[in-house]
Amino acid sequence: MSFPWLKGHGTENDFVLLPDHDGTIHGDLDGAFVAALCHRRRGIGADGVMRVVRTQALGEQSAGEWFMDYKNADGSVSEMCGNGIRVFALHLVQEGLADPSQPFVVGTRDGDKTITFDRDQISVDMGKPELRGVSKVTADGRTWEAQDVRTGNPHAVAFVERLTDAGSLLVEPDYDKTTYPEGVNIEFVVREGAQHVSMRVHERGSGETRSCGTGACAVAAAAAHSDGAARPVTYRVDVPGGTVHVTWTDDDHLILTGPAEIVARGDMEWIA
């Protein structure tokens, strides 16, 4: 059986999109199938998969018609993906399923997210960050303190001198399993100037990726917190795949702004 699919990315965090509007094609979106699709050698290759499905068809609660059913490259479920939701929103707009002239809502496992288009930039209201305590992360034989930040999903943010300090990131850095029993996305951050940082990330369920939107939000919140910055404040966050901006508003919301691109579409027959 063939089914529609698309490939897209947001600052090179790349995704396979599976339109399944009524939830009749992909069942529960099997984790093993997602992992096979995402494999960089044996599959299509991606950091994650997003099923484009009606909220009602999944039985989820959302004010939005469309729900981002997101899974990581290893098939595990995550609550939220900041780059993915911009790609998802662009797809809805390109297919005439959402109107970019006004804000619209997309449902996620982290609740409803409001999307706003401004030419080639897409903004997502990511909600309120939660800054918890500090734990430790270890990579390439070195250990740093890391700020625990929740931006819908868990993050450990470590400020380092150089992005290369974290080594190859081919293996998952060590982290405090008591603080993060559900696993964690780990960001290594360098300060580049006032309200300007750069980062690398090792994502839970996907390994090192070229960008992470929820991670950029966690990094901006951790930097603003340690700077004692007055709100509203905007941080520029450089990632290996480009640049995003994060504004921490007066009313304590993080707004993630960046690009998105759909690069391919077609029908697929998965025969593996």
Ligand X SMILES: N[C@@H](CCC[C@H](N)C(=O)O)C(=O)O
- 210 marked among binding-site residues: no
Query: How many residues sit close enough to ligand X to count as binding (CB under 6 A)?
Result: 20
Check 126, 212, 239, 255 and give the catalytic one. Answer: 212
217 annotated active-site: no
- 72 marked among binding-site residues: yes
- 12 marked among binding-site residues: no
Q: How far is CA 126 from CA 86, 129, 254, in A?
A: 11, 8, 5
Angle between helices 82-94 and 213-227 (to 10 degrees): 130
Least distance between ligand X and beta carbon 129 (Å): 13
Based on the shown chain and the rule CB under 6 A, indicate whether residue 247 belongs to the binding site for ligand X: no
Least distance between ligand X and beta carbon 124 (Å): 10
- 13 marked among binding-site residues: yes
The closest alpha carbon to 134, from 154, 156, 161, belongs to 156
- 82 marked among binding-site residues: yes
The helix or strand, by DSSP H or E, that contains position 19, with its residue range, turns out to be strand 13-19
Q: Which of 129, 213, 241, 258 binds ligand X (CB under 6 A)?
A: 213
| 181 versus 271: smaller Cβ distance to ligand X | 181
- 213 marked among binding-site residues: yes
Partners of 192 in the β-ladder: none
CA-CA distance, 264 to 8, in Å (whole number)? 7
In sequence order, the 6+-apart residues with CB closer than 8 A to the CB of 139 are 165, 166, 167, 169, 173, 174, 186, 188, 202
Based on the shown chain and the rule CB under 6 A, indicate whether residue 19 belongs to the binding site for ligand X: no
The closest alpha carbon to 87, from 21, 16, 4, 9, belongs to 9
Check 29, 52, 81, 126 and give the catalytic one. Answer: 81
Strands 196-203 and 233-239: parallel
Q: Which of 81, 122, 137, 221 binds ligand X (CB under 6 A)?
A: 81
Counting beta carbons within 10 angstroms of the beta carbon of residue 59, is it exposed (0 to 12), middle (13 to 18) or buried (19 or more)? exposed
Least distance between ligand X and beta carbon 93 (Å): 19
| 218 versus 224: smaller Cβ distance to ligand X | 218
Angle (CA) 63-67-71 rounded to 5° is: 145
Paired tokens of 219:
């990094």
String of contacts with ligand X for each residue 113-152, x by CB under 6 A: ----------------------------------------
Q: Which residues 45-74 are close enough to bind ligand X by CB under 6 A?
A: 47-48, 72
212 annotated active-site: yes
Based on the shown chain and the rule CB under 6 A, indicate whether residue 206 belongs to the binding site for ligand X: yes
Which residues contribute to the site for ligand X (CB under 6 A)? 13, 47-48, 72, 78, 81-84, 153, 185, 203-206, 209, 212-215
Residue positions in the annotated binding site for substrate? 13, 72, 82-83, 153, 185, 203-204, 213-214
